[in-house]
A and B are shown apart, each in its own frame.
Chain A
């Protein structure tokens, strides 16, 4: 089985940097995904990590440490439109995803 923890809510200021953490315990790690979900909309894919290290994609970066069971999503130069829920999901060796409860990020002016 898998257990995934991420903070329930975070607040940050427009233009700032925010880091959303995700810790996991898994039997058979095969990759970690981050999704963004605006209220009332479908989750959309943001990033994928399967090896240790940092993956950068524009204003968004995601980091993975497999030995620590830890990932974070880093959002730079925050914009109001970044207000959304951010979902951490771990894939197991059977290619099944287990999702964390999501972190609701509120960006304030």
Chain B
């Protein structure tokens, strides 16, 4: 079974804090993704990575950065958290080839006060 884990299920941070969200997958997937999910807006892609040390911007990268130092780990960084970054953050991973469906982690519900 594919397993994607995220470091926290719930997180509360203050405005201006630096926030790290960690994601680890155990299936040797090449691709990893960070989404945020908001009511009525669906899942929106923040950043993705198709290889170690590679990163590409998604649809809404502003205010975020990422790091992929190892194949199994993909980190999302909020440099200076703001209240409009309160959201559910979902990490996903997939292979490069074939059907390559994405497997999702359980999500981190981040509240910025």
Contacts and interface: CB of A to CB of B under 8 A. Distances in A.
Contacts of B100: 95
Given A48-B101, A101-B40, A42 B45 contact: no
A102 B41 CA distance: 9
Nearest to B107: A42
Interface string A64-103: 0000000000000000000000010100000111111110
A7 interface: no
A43 B90 contact: yes
Given A43-B90, A87-B42, A87-B43, A97 B106 contact: no
A99 B42 contact: yes
A43 B42 contact: no
Contacts, number: 45
A98 B101 CA distance: 13
Interface in A5-42: 8, 31, 33, 35, 40-42
Size category of the binding interface on chain A: 20 to 34
A41 B101 contact: no
Contacts of B40: 8, 101
A96 B48 contact: yes
A59 B100 CA distance: 23
A45 B45 contact: no
Interface in B17-43: 31, 35, 40-43
Interface of B: 4, 31, 35, 40-45, 48, 58, 90, 96, 99-107
